[in-house]
């Protein structure tokens, strides 16, 4: 589409994020719960999955055993579906320890989201790329876009992930337009996924649809449907998102769980 960054129209399901069942009873935490939620989300029409693995105590984790258990369970439930995890700095607030954990992964995701405004993001992205793991560059601000575009390995990323905060879109619209303009000017030729959080989740999903960009939904991003109606689970959010995006009914195909 002229005037927008290169994109593959995709709908990703973000299954849990840092949320817990105290936030919503449908938030999956254990490997078995993640597998069940993933199967339902893909059946509802999700093209890819994003999740935050947990330790036995329910806390987010990047430790090899926790990541392996989560990824293995979801892959068994949804073979062939692209699967990514978060590397958010809040999960493990020590860059060296985070790198050590990732180097020790025995089961690896297809991609990892790297937030460019967080400490040591270029080094983390380089580590992931060197391990053969795809990188989503998580860009929250125009300054983050500028910093990312200065990175020598920027063309090696899988895609860019433009994320808008939990606030009215009108408060952030100028920033969004600036981010898109910077990416357009850079001619990066990478797919772009645009999504919001909380108040911005549904308006930004519609914006992504208008621009022909990829997007995402799920209980990480919003607990409600349009109109502030409670969402029952990730699958319902995916079904409603497909309707809004005009993607039509899902036709089962080989490889979908």
Q: The CATH number of the domain where 166 resides is what?
A: 3.20.20.70
What pLDDT does 110 receive? Answer: 98
What pLDDT does 169 receive? Answer: 87
- 168 vs 201: CA distance, rounded Å: 10
In this prediction, residues 193-197 reach a mean pLDDT of 98
150 strand-pairing partners:
none
Nearest to 194 by CA among 173, 163, 222, 168: 163
What pLDDT does 9 receive? Answer: 80
What pLDDT does 1 receive? Answer: 33
The reported pTM is 0.94
Residue 34 placed within a domain: yes
Backbone angles phi, psi at 84, to 5 degrees: -130, 160
- 36 vs 18: CA distance, rounded Å: 18
- 9 vs 238: CA distance, rounded Å: 14
Q: What is the mean pLDDT of the chain?
A: 94
**Domain limits for position 15:** 11-245
Domain tally, the chain: 1
């Amino acid at each position: 589409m002229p005037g927008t960054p290169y994109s593959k129209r995709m709908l990703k399901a973000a299954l849990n994020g840092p949320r817990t069942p105290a936030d919503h009873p449908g938030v999956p935490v254990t490997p078995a719960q993640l597998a069940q939620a993933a199967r339902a989300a893909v059946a509802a029409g999700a093209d890819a999955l994003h999740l935050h693995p947990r330790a036995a105590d329910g806390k987010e984790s990047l430790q090899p055993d926790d990541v392996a258990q989560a990824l293995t369970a979801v892959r068994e439930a949804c073979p062939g579906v692209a699967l990514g995890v978060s590397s958010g700095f809040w999960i493990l607030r020590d860059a060296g320890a985070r790198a050590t954990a990732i180097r020790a992964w025995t089961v690896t995701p297809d991609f990892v989201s790297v937030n460019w405004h967080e400490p040591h993001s270029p080094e983390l992205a380089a580590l992931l790329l060197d391990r053969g793991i795809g990188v989503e560059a998580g860009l929250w601000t125009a300054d983050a876009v500028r910093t990312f575009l200065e990175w020598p390995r920027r063309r090696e990323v899988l895609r860019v992930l433009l994320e808008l905060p939990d606030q009215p879109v009108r408060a952030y619209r100028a920033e969004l337009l600036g981010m898109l303009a910077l990416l357009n000017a850079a001619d990066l030729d990478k797919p772009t996924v645009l999504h919001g959080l909380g108040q911005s989740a549904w308006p930004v999903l519609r914006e992504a649809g208008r621009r022909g960009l990829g997007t995402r939904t799920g209980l990480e991003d919003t607990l409600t449907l349009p109109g502030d109606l409670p969402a029952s689970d990730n699958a319902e959010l995916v079904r409603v998102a497909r309707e809004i995006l005009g993607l039509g009914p899902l036709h089962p195909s080989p490889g979908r769980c």
